[in-house]
Amino acid sequence: MARLTLREAITEALREEMQRDENVFIMGEEVGAWGGTYAVTKGFLEEFGERRVRDTPISEMVIAGAAVGAAMAGTRPVAEFMTINFAFVAFDAIVNHAAKVSYMFNGQFDCPVVFRAPGGGGKQLGATHSHTPDVIFAHFPGLKVVCPATPYDAKGLLKAAIRDNGPVLFIEPVPLYTSPKVRGDVPDDDYIVPIGEADIKREGSDVTIITYGEGLHVSLDAAEMLAKEGVEAEVVDLRTLQPLDMSLALASFKKTFKAVVVEFGHQTYGIGAEIVAQLQEQAFDYLDAPIKRVAQYDVPAPYSGELEKMALPDAKKVVTAVKEIL
């Protein structure tokens, strides 16, 4: 058991899977000689060689398209986008090719490709480099979408994604990469975290907070603040957005009768809207108060650090939302 950062856990998962299966290889901008934009693949070129750690042109459509073809041909590529914002350029290859090829060929082809995509705001990268577009990709059947928030989950989910026989978009919240508060225990043994299973990260009986990604740590901070006032919040980490496991959220909601959804994407048409819809469809009789949403404001991400913080969720906003429905 080692205490790792989120970035270190991702690196460990990649290294172990490349050592386990020679069909796994990495491709993307600066993943080789530079070691990755966020140093996730540092040292991989020396360890695995140019055949399995491939620097690509600055063209996300080329990266995604080549990865899909390689996956159909029997390998297991891990294609890195420097940032999820650039995945928009590769949208056709991800949504029309990777997500649909098995269906279009009646199962004659598998497409075991993983698209790694660092994402999220909060790093003063400006409006065009700070998107949290997770809901857009989760909208399309055939593509699994994963977003871990702890080192344990990151390692286990990435290993599961690489071993999956279909395409997986693996979203890595950039602000969590090296955050000391996110450092956690990660087993040395080989393990996976199943894709499509949520997790209870904190038990409580007064209100349910449903979240994922960076929202998990904001929610846990809020839960600690509420506990000092005698309010026990249960925190449900979705971990996977497609397929979406609502079983734990529903069970928790039926216990607390109240819920707040926390996400770092924009509120309008967001992940939270889908969660609220499913809660009221499947557990309407347990509803004691309106379900609140805490999300990024519907504005382009400001470049100013202080303004960007104002636009994003924080623990105080979650606490306020909880108090409004108690």
For the annotated catalytic residues, the residue numbers are 60, 129
AA letter at 9 = A
Cα 297 from Cα 318, distance rounded (Å): 14
264's enclosing H/E stretch is strand 259-266
DSSP-derived pairing of the beta strands 114-119 and 168-173: parallel
The number of C-alpha atoms within 13 Å of 233 and in the hemisphere containing its C-beta is 32
Q: Give the C-alpha distances (Å, rounded to integers) separating 326 from 178, 213, 279, 294, 323.
A: 35, 25, 18, 16, 5
Cα 83 from Cα 108, distance rounded (Å): 32
What is the phi-psi region of residue 28: left when phi exceeds 0, alpha when psi lies from -120 to 50, beta otherwise?
A: left
CB 305 within 8 A of CB 288: no
191's enclosing H/E stretch is none
Beta bridge partners of 79: 27, 115
**How many beta carbons lie within 10 A of that of residue 71, not counting itself?**
25
Q: And the tokens for 176?
A: 């969590």
Cα 114 from Cα 162, distance rounded (Å): 6
